[in-house]
Structure 1
Amino acid sequence: MFRYIIKRLVYAVILLLAVITLNFLLIHISPGDPVETIAGSMGGMTEELRAQLRTEFGLDKPFLVQLGIYLGNVVQGDLGQSYFFNAPVTSLILERLPATLLLVIVSVLLAFLVGTFMGSLAARRPNGLLSQLVTILSIVGYSAPVFWTGIVLIILFASVFPIFPVSDMRTAGMDDGGWAGILDVAEHLVLPAFTLAFVYIAQYSRLARASMMEALSADYIRTARAKGLSETIVLYKHALRNAVLPVITMLGMQFGNVLAGAILVETVFNWPGLGRLAFDSVLRRDYPTMLGILFFASMLVIIMNQLTDLAYRIIDPRIKA
C-alpha cells in the first residue's frame, strides 16, 4: 500500500505540473489584456504607464520565459501578486477557500448520501412508485442548469416563502463565534448546497438504483438469503457494498464538475468563495489570481481522485491484489 501511495503521488505531481502549464497557455492566448483592463477602469492611461505596468507584471517577456518564471515560483509556493486586488494570490485564495470547501463538501455528501439511499430503496421495487419518482428526478436533474435552479429557489424562498436567506454566507452584524454563528452559516448554506447537490442527487440515485438491481440479482445475494440472513443485512451489508462502487467512481470523476458548478452557485447566491473570486478575476483579466484558483482547483480534483482510488481499495478487498 505504501509503494502504491508513493507511486500515485508521483503521478499526481507530474499531472499537476502539466495542468499548470496548460492553464498558463490557455489564459495567455485568450482575448483580453490586464493592462488595458486596468486602464479602462481608471478612465485612461499614458503609454509610459502602460509600459511600466507590463514590465512590472512581466508581460513584456517572451511567453516561454514567463512560463519558466511562473513554474519556478509555483514550485517555491509563490503564486504571484494579484493585478487587481494588489495582494498575494495565496492569501486571497486561503481567505476564500474555507467557504468553497464548506459548500462543495456539504453538497457532495448530500448528493452521495441522499442519491445512494433513494437509489437503494428504488431498487427493491423496480416498478414501484419510488422507482418511477427516481426516474423523473433524474430527468429533471439532468435538464435543469445549476444557475436556473438557484434563481428558482431565490424567487421561491425570497418572495413566496421567505424562509431561508438567499445571499451571502452570514447575516450582517452577526457574531462569527458560538452556536448562533454556526446556525447562521448553516441557514445561509441550505439553498446554495441544495442547488449544487440537486443535479448530482438525480444522477447518483439513478446510478445507485441500476447498480443495486444488478447486485441483487447476483449469486452471492441468493446464497445470503438462502442462509436465512435478514433482508436488511442482505441489502445494506452485502449488496450495497458492491453497488456503491460505481457511485464512488462517479463522485470522484465529477468532483471537478462540482467545483465548476460552485462558481455559478456562488455567483447566484453571492457566496464569498473561490467561485466568486474566479468570476471577478475573469472580468478583470487578473491572470495571477485566475491561475492560482485553477491551480488549487486542479490540486483538489487530483486529491479527490487519489482518495477515490484509496476508497476503492478499502471497500473492495479484491482490488488490493
Structure 2
Amino acid sequence: MLRFTIFRILHAVPLLVAVILAIFLMQQAIPGDPVQAMVGDFPVPPAFREAIEKKYRLNDPLPVRIGTYFNNLLHGDLGFSYHAQRPVLDMVLERAPRTILLAAAGFAVAIPLGMLIGVLTGTTRRRSMDQAGTTVTLILYAVPTFWLGQLLVILFALKLGWFPTQGMGPLLSQATGLQWVLERLHYLALPVAAFAIHDGMRVARIMRASVIDTLGQGYIVTARAKGLRRSAIIWRHIVRNSSLPLVTIAGYAIGSALGGAVLLETVFTWPGLGLLLIESIRTSDNLMVMGVVIFSALAVVTMNFVVDVLYALIDPRIRHQR
C-alpha cells in the first residue's frame, strides 16, 4: 500500500506543476497592461510605470519569471496582489472557506437527493416512471448552474420574496448564536439549491446505472429466493453495493464544484473564490488569478489522490495495477 501511495504521489506532483506552468504561460499571452489596470483610467507617468515594473519584475525574461514564481511557491509565497495590496495567500485563505461551505452544503443535499432518485428510477417496476425520472434528471443536469441560479432568484427572491437575492448575510446584523446561524442559512439556501440540483442529477444518473447493474448480480437473486422483502433487498444489498461508484466521481465533483462556483458565486454575489477570480480577471490581477487557480488545481489533484487511495483500500487488486 505504501508503494502504491508513493507511486500516485509521483504522478500527482508533475501534473500539478504542468497545470501551474500552463496557466502561467497562458496569462503571459493574454493582452493587457497590469500597470494601467492598477491605476484605472488615469494616465500612467513613465517614472511610476518603471517603478512598478521593477518592483514586480514585469520586464524580466520569461524563464526568469517562471523560475522566480516556482521558487516562491516552494516557500509558500503566492505573490502580492497589487490591486488589493495584500498577499495573495491571505486573500485565498480568507475566501476559500466560503467556497468550501457552499460546496459542502451543496454536496450534503445533492448526494442523498441523487441517491434517492437513482434508487427509485433504477428499482421501479413501472417503465413510464423510469422514463419520466430519467428525462427529468437529464434535463436538470443539462441546465447550467448559473442559469438555474438566476431562475431561482427570479422565482423565490424577486417574485415570492422568500429569500435574499445575493450576499452571504445582511450588511448590518446584530444576530448572535442560533439566530446568526439561521440568518446565514437563509442566504445560503438558493445557491445551495442551484448547486444541489445540478450535482444531485449527476449522482442520480450514476446511481441508477449502478443499481440496474447490481440487480443482475447473483446475490440479489439469492436474496429474493430466500424470501427477503423488497425493501430489505433494496436498502441492505442494492443501495450498499451500488454506492461504491460514487467514490469515483468524488474527485471530479470537487473540480466541478470549484469550476461551477465561479459563475454561481457571481450570480449570488457569494464572496468566495469564484467571485474573487472574476474580480481579479477584470482588474488584470494576474498573481491573484494564479493563486485561485493553483488552489483549485491543488484541491482537484489532492481529491483525485485520495480517491485513488480509497479505491486501493476497498479493492486490493488496484494496488498492483500500473
Cα distance between partner residues in 2 of 1:28 and 1:79: 17
Partner residue in 1 for 2:88? 89
CA deviation string 1:23-54 (max 9, x = no partner)? 11111112222112224x15111122112211
Say if 1:245 and 1:312, in contact at 8 Å, map to a contact too: no
Say if 1:147 and 1:268, in contact at 8 Å, map to a contact too: yes
Partner residue in 1 for 2:298? 299
Structure 2, unmatched stretches of 5+, are none
User: What amino acid sits opposite 1:69 in the alignment?
Assistant: T
Matched, 1:248 2:224: no
Q: 1:31 to 1:176 in 2, by over 3 A?
A: farther
Say if 2:121 and 2:134, in contact at 8 Å, map to a contact too: no
Cα distance between partner residues in 2 of 1:304 and 1:175: 38
Partner residue in 2 for 1:52? 51
Cα distance between partner residues in 2 of 1:170 and 1:74: 34
User: What amino acid sits opposite 2:104 in the alignment?
Assistant: I
Matched, 1:123 2:122: yes
Structure 1 residue 319 displacement after superposition = 4.8
Aligned pairs for 1:100-249 (under 5 A) are 100-125=99-124, 127-128=126-127, 130-175=129-174, 177-249=176-248
Cα distance between partner residues in 2 of 1:235 and 1:312: 24
Partner residue in 1 for 2:22? 22
Cα distance between partner residues in 1 of 2:31 and 2:198: 32
Q: 1:196 to 1:170 in 2, by over 3 A?
A: same
Cα distance between partner residues in 2 of 1:180 and 1:9: 44
User: What amino acid sits opposite 2:161 in the alignment?
Assistant: P
CA deviation string 1:285-319 (max 9, x = no partner)? 10110000011000111121122223434555665
Q: Which moved more, 1:14-23 or 1:282-291?
A: 14-23
Say if 1:82 and 1:289, in contact at 8 Å, map to a contact too: yes
CA deviation string 1:42-87 (max 9, x = no partner)? 5111122112211111111011100000000001100010020010
CA deviation string 1:99-149 (max 9, x = no partner)? 000001121232222111210121111535542342132232233222211
The alignment's TM-score, normalised by the length of structure 1, stands at 0.92
CA deviation string 1:236-289 (max 9, x = no partner)? 332223322333323322321221110111111010101110000000110110
Q: 1:126 to 1:29 in 2, by over 3 A?
A: farther
Say if 1:242 and 1:316, in contact at 8 Å, map to a contact too: no
Partner residue in 1 for 2:5? 5
CA deviation string 1:188-227 (max 9, x = no partner)? 1110011122222222212211220111111121123223
**Consecutive aligned runs of 4 or more in structure 1 exceeding 6 Å deviation:** none
Say if 2:4 and 2:319, in contact at 8 Å, map to a contact too: no
Cα distance between partner residues in 2 of 1:207 and 1:217: 16
Say if 1:192 and 1:265, in contact at 8 Å, map to a contact too: yes
Q: 1:318 to 1:7 in 2, by over 3 A?
A: closer
User: What amino acid sits opposite 1:86 in the alignment?
Assistant: Q
Matched, 1:283 2:287: no
The alignment's TM-score, normalised by the length of structure 2, stands at 0.92
Say if 1:134 and 1:202, in contact at 8 Å, map to a contact too: no
Cα distance between partner residues in 2 of 1:314 and 1:118: 28
RMSD, matched Cα: 2.1
Cα distance between partner residues in 2 of 1:152 and 1:126: 34
